[in-house]
Amino acid sequence: MIILLTGGCKNGKSGIAQKLAVLLARRGQRQLFYVATMRSTGPEDDERIRRHVKDRAGLGFNTIELKEKISTLLIEAGNHGEGNAAQSCGHGTFLIDSTTALLANEMFRENEEGLFFTDKDAAVRVAAELEALIKSALENDDDLIFVSDGIYSDAAVYEGDTFLYREALGMLERTVSKDADLVIEMCAGVPVIHKEGSGLTEDKELMDQLNRVIDKKGALIIGGAAQGKRAYVKRELGITDEEIYTFDANDIMDGNIGVPGGYKVYDHVERLALSEGKDEHELADLFPDDAALICEDITCGIVPMSKEDRRWRDDAGRLMQALGAGREVVRVFCGKGTRIG
């Protein structure tokens, strides 16, 4: 089976990917592999890697470090397998995390003199390697689960290498999607299925990993800037602006992170992620269970240059997951609301 998982940062991609990989490996009695593609560039990346290692601890993954040349994966697996799996093309379930890092490794390189340069041929080369890997996996009856990052929905206009990288990553996602059995976008912890192969709807065990069965109270309304989230909530609930509390970014950065009572709706909840000292679950617990919470989704663009903005972006993704865990999640696009979970 071929699966693509994409979406904004910290929206739950890796967690769902791990669950699906464990299930497929157990059912097929296959070796379970985590293919780590990130090349650390400093403390932030080291911490990200540490979190991923902790999250998959005890799940039975064999880790393969493969920073480039992804088409060699099945051969690499033969060097990492155990027992009868130690063959050049042993059957396996491979979680590849992520195409985002893989492309960066191939595109932004260092020459023999130690100078960095942009390899403008990287996108076509990696796409061809992905096609070759998928072809081999299908012939060998292997599972491939690709994790990627949706970095296409911010307002900035990029030039040069950033533009090329974003275009290239989109091309890689389309390359995988073409042959994928499942294409899933993760949004505030909710899997949104965009492509579903024949017969998968009847696969209850697999679909149970993607369906949320919870007692929903309240609502989380998400969407990009200027998409009409506030107007949608006012229209749906029949309320006025006076019944909506809007969080102020400056107050939060000054340490004022209380949630006042007496409101049905809270707007710009993503700004709470600017606070320090409280994790996402503590912040989520500040709200009444039946409240409607509006979040501007800031997780689906190019990684910000500033460390502070990168932390806010990551923490906002984690906060949206925590807020959506017990609520109905509605995504607003062009003023239209769609219930996604």
Beta strands at 219-223 and 108-110: parallel, antiparallel or unpaired: unpaired
Q: CA-to-CA distance for 266 and 239, rounded, in angstroms?
A: 12
Residues 77 and 150: beta-carbon distance below 8 Å: no
User: Which one-letter amino acid corresponds to residue 158?
Assistant: Y
pLDDT at residue 255, as a whole number: 87
**DSSP structure string for 297-318:** ---SSPPPSSHHHHHHHHHHHH
- Mind listing the pLDDT tens digit for each residue in 270-315? 999 999 778 999 999 999 999 999 999 999 988 888 889 999 999 9
pLDDT at residue 158, as a whole number: 74
pLDDT at residue 85, as a whole number: 42
Q: CA-to-CA distance for 23 and 25, rounded, in angstroms?
A: 6
- Mind listing the pLDDT tens digit for each residue in 226-239? 999 999 999 999 99
Q: Name the residue among 227, 182, 229 with its Cα closest to residue 207.
A: 182
Q: CA-to-CA distance for 96 and 80, rounded, in angstroms?
A: 15
Domains within the chain, CATH numbers bracketed: 2-208 (3.40.50.300), 219-339 (3.40.50.300)
Q: CA-to-CA distance for 23 and 163, rounded, in angstroms?
A: 37
Return the DSSP state at 61.
P
Q: CA-to-CA distance for 40 and 49, rounded, in angstroms?
A: 8
- pLDDT < 50 regions, the chain: 83-89
pLDDT at residue 22, as a whole number: 98
pTM: 0.90
Look up residue 295 and give its two tokens.
């979040």
Beta partners for residue 220, in sequence order: 293, 329
pLDDT at residue 299, as a whole number: 94
Look up residue 245 and give its two tokens.
């509390």
Q: CA-to-CA distance for 141 and 288, rounded, in angstroms?
A: 49
Look up residue 336 and give its two tokens.
């239209």
Q: SS3 for 254-304, per residue?
A: CCCCCCCCCCCEEECHHHHHHCCCCCHHHHHCCCCCCCEEEEECCCCCCCC
| SS3 label, residue 263 | coil
User: Which one-letter amino acid corresponds to residue 155?
Assistant: A
Q: Taking every pair of C-alpha atoms in the chain, what is the biggest distance, in angstroms?
A: 67
| SS3 label, residue 151 | coil
End-to-end Cα spacing for the chain: 24
Q: CA-to-CA distance for 265 and 234, rounded, in angstroms?
A: 9
CA–CA–CA angle 31, 33, 37 (5° rounding): 165
Look up residue 284 and give its two tokens.
């989520």
Q: CA-to-CA distance for 1 and 206, rounded, in angstroms?
A: 12
Return the DSSP state at 119.
-
